[in-house]
Amino acid sequence: MIRAASVSYVVGGRALVDDVAFDLPGGTLTALVGPNGAGKSTMLGLLSGDLEASAGTVHLGDRPVAEWKVKDLARQRGVMLQQQAAHFGFSVEETVEMGRLPHDVDPGRDREIVESALRGSDLAALRRRDVTTLSGGEGARTAYARVVAQTTPVVLLDEPTAALDLRAQEALLRSARAKADEGAAVVVVLHDLNQAARYADRVLMFSGGRLVADGPPPEVLTPPRIEEVYGQRVHLMEHPETGAPVLVPAHG
Amino acid sequence: MLKGRGTTAREDIRRIPHGLALGGGVLLLLAVMVVSVSVGPVHIALGDVWHILTSRLLGGEGGMSQRDASVVWQLRVPRILLGAVVGAALAISGAALQSLFNNPLADPGIVGVTSGASAGAVGAIVLAGGLAGQWVVPLGAFAAGLGVTALIYVLARPGRTTGTSRMLLVGIAIGSACQALVGFFTYIADDTQLQTLVFWQMGSLGRATWPQLVAVLPVFVLALILVVRLSRTLDVLTLGERQAQHLGLNVKLSRFAVILTTALLTAAAVAFAGSIGFVGLVVPHIMRFVVGPRHRALLPASAIMGAVLVVAADAAARTVNPPTEIPIGLFTAAVGAPFFLFLILREKRRVS
């Protein structure tokens, strides 16, 4: 579904993404992890077609991302950015409805999709709220619901959980997981490695613009590698209920 | 940031249904226009206004005095219609540009039309001197307004998903250059030219004629149709350029279309009425409170309210100190500035 072939992105002589290659099939949730400035958001920008690769190509579906028409591309991939602009008083519902823009109008189906997106992000009670009065988390949930309403086979999420409270974080990732299980290729930039471990099928770890590890969470998220990439020692513990591995930062 | 969950219900959006708002607005506009025909240095009773208009439009003898008939038909009707068109054009441009730039403080001047048109008009007044008929100044203003916008667009070279903000900065730089030009022409102008020039800069409908109205109308109608067709596009642009692109909007093309139509509207308005401030900035704000930010409702509502405001300000300009006319820009600024301040302070209180 998504294929990056030796992709680099160079600005002012500095490679923000350096010769990265991977292939992500539909039906998987992939987490992009790595320290600040590792190139995760730039990578997402390249996948979404916002940025043009300096070298190599990104394929989306059957052709390079640059060859898609803007409107066709919007039926192919939805994107949630970190920052949401809201200067005008559209309602939450109107904002989510904008996700239907790339599709041919079908009032009944559009209504159904928007309703389900609102419910899925726990926004039913906020539907009439002015988006300029929302908190950061409420704004992020609205943006996510808009991406859901866009109903695309590729979903790109840039730190979607950053502004969310604990419960909303879990709800959003469960929803993203469900989209992957329905066949979508979901790519999520995450800082919380435990979230990556629990929800992702695959983890791509970036450092200094390079892809330094690629594989299932238990193989990638090992304490020695994390210490090497992040410069932070961690312990691997056991979840008290499930026995699943949990990463905890070491003291000092 | 920290907000109790119990406050949500009170923060629900309240809007007037837009059919009702538009209907009410049209009635208000008609009322203001009719009253405006009647007032001025020569007061003409409303009944007589009615007779003169119906006899003109439907034929037949009104039996009114020749003087009143000519004041109404040759002077006041064209200037009021021109005022309505100018007000509507400025308000629509303001609304569209605020959404394009994602900035509620944008106004039609932001893409350089107003400063360009000022330089063009002032240049025409000073350089063309005595031979300036009723067309030289408007044409100079119109051409220079569009020319400066084009220059800003070319210099800023906005890209596929970014660059609108760069237009803003280039616009400020070019705007200053235009101001310098205006200053230079003002400096070399003689006394008569100076008077015309000052009057133009503060805005006036005093020279409106039927031929001018006929000249401006096609530009206005064309740009109006284009901009209303852009309603959905403008809605999506308020999410930000990248997000709009993610939803399948061709941002580059849309941006170009919005700038072209608003530049046409503003240049046409400024060419015949001079620079009338605050209408393009304030009216969209008021109408967002009334009908909400969706452009399908906002653009027509802003058009009507802009027309109401300019026609009313023009009536005041004629009536306050007869027979002298006060520049219309003084009224729109005098009413607009405090009102705008009120909106900003209110907004701040709501957010904090």
CATH number, domain containing residue A32:
3.40.50.300
Structural domain of residue B311, as residue ranges? 23-38+46-57+64-351
Q: Say which of B3, B98, B248 has its CB closest to residue A70.
A: B248
Over chain B, what is the mean pLDDT? 85
Which carries the bigger pLDDT value, residue B158 or residue A116? A116
Count: domains in chain A: 1
Flag whether residue B238 sits within 8 Å of chain A, measured between CB atoms. Answer: yes
What's the confidence (pLDDT) of residue B4? 42
**Residue B297 reports pLDDT greater than 90:** yes
* pLDDT band, very low/low/confident/very high, at B296 (cuts 50, 70, 90): very high
Flag whether residue B176 sits within 8 Å of chain A, measured between CB atoms. Answer: no
What's the confidence (pLDDT) of residue B320? 84
For chain A, counts of helices (H) and of strands (E): 9, 12
Residue A74 to residue B248, Cβ atoms within 8 A:
yes
| Residue % of chain A over a pLDDT of 90 | 87
Tokens at residue A123, please?
């926004």
Mean pLDDT of B265-283: 88
What's the confidence (pLDDT) of residue B3? 42
Residue B8 to residue A126, Cβ atoms within 8 A:
yes
Does residue B197 lie within any of the structural domains? yes
pTM, entire model: 0.89
What's the confidence (pLDDT) of residue B131? 59
What's the confidence (pLDDT) of residue B347? 66
pLDDT tens by residue, B214-224: 988 998 999 88
Q: Say which of B11, B232, B236 has its CB closest to residue A129.
A: B11
* pLDDT band, very low/low/confident/very high, at B62 (cuts 50, 70, 90): low
Count: domains in chain B: 1
| Residue % of chain B over a pLDDT of 90 | 37
What's the confidence (pLDDT) of residue B162? 66
Does residue B210 lie within any of the structural domains? yes
pLDDT tens by residue, B4-57: 444 445 567 888 888 899 999 999 999 999 999 888 788 888 888 888 888 877
Q: Are B138 and B271 in contact (CB under 8 A)?
A: yes
Flag whether residue A105 sits within 8 Å of chain B, measured between CB atoms. Answer: no
- B292 vs A contacts (CB less than 8 Å): 89-91
Residue A70 to residue B235, Cβ atoms within 8 A:
no
What's the confidence (pLDDT) of residue B352? 46
What's the confidence (pLDDT) of residue A18? 95
Which carries the bigger pLDDT value, residue B1 or residue A88? A88
Mean pLDDT of A203-216: 96
Flag whether residue A98 sits within 8 Å of chain B, measured between CB atoms. Answer: yes
Does residue B13 lie within any of the structural domains? no
CA angle B324, B182, B145 (to 5 degrees): 95
Does residue B8 lie within any of the structural domains? no
Tokens at residue B14, please?
């309240």
| CATH number, residue B271 | 1.10.3470.10
- A150 vs B contacts (CB less than 8 Å): 247
Q: How far apart are CA B90 and CA B87, in angstroms?
A: 5
pLDDT tens by residue, A123-182: 999 999 999 889 999 999 999 999 999 999 999 999 999 999 999 999 999 999 999 999
**How many angstroms away from the CA of B337 is the closest CA of chain A?**
21
Does residue B11 lie within any of the structural domains? no
* DSSP-derived secondary structure letter, A36: T
What's the confidence (pLDDT) of residue A239? 87
Does residue A231 lie within any of the structural domains? no
- B288 vs A contacts (CB less than 8 Å): 88-89
Q: How far apart are CA B118 and CA A127, in angstroms?
A: 46
Residue B246 to residue A88, Cβ atoms within 8 A:
no
pLDDT tens by residue, B335-344: 888 887 887 7
- B245 vs A contacts (CB less than 8 Å): 50, 70
What's the confidence (pLDDT) of residue B8? 46
Structural domain of residue A152, as residue ranges? 2-221
Does residue B306 lie within any of the structural domains? yes
Which carries the bigger pLDDT value, residue A81 or residue B127? A81
What's the confidence (pLDDT) of residue B339? 80
**How many angstroms away from the CA of B62 is the closest CA of chain A?**
51
Tokens at residue B115, please?
């400063």
Residue A88 to residue B3, Cβ atoms within 8 A:
no
Burial class, B152, CB count within 10 angstroms (exposed 0-12 / middle 13-18 / buried 19+) = buried
Q: How far apart are CA B101 and CA B85, in angstroms?
A: 24
pLDDT tens by residue, A212-240: 999 999 999 999 999 999 999 999 988 88
**How many angstroms away from the CA of A73 is the closest CA of chain B?**
7
pLDDT tens by residue, B93-147: 999 999 998 888 888 878 888 889 889 988 888 887 655 567 888 888 899 999 9
**Residue B196 reports pLDDT greater than 90:** no
What's the confidence (pLDDT) of residue A45? 95
Does residue B245 lie within any of the structural domains? yes
Does residue A24 lie within any of the structural domains? yes
Cis omega (within 30 of 0) for bond into B323: yes
Residue B250 to residue A70, Cβ atoms within 8 A:
yes
Does residue B2 lie within any of the structural domains? no
Contacts of residue A133, Cβ cutoff 8 Å, sequence gap at least 6:
B11, B350, B351
Over chain A, what is the mean pLDDT? 94
Flag whether residue B106 sits within 8 Å of chain A, measured between CB atoms. Answer: no
- A74 vs B contacts (CB less than 8 Å): 246-249
Q: Are B281 and B101 in contact (CB under 8 A)?
A: no
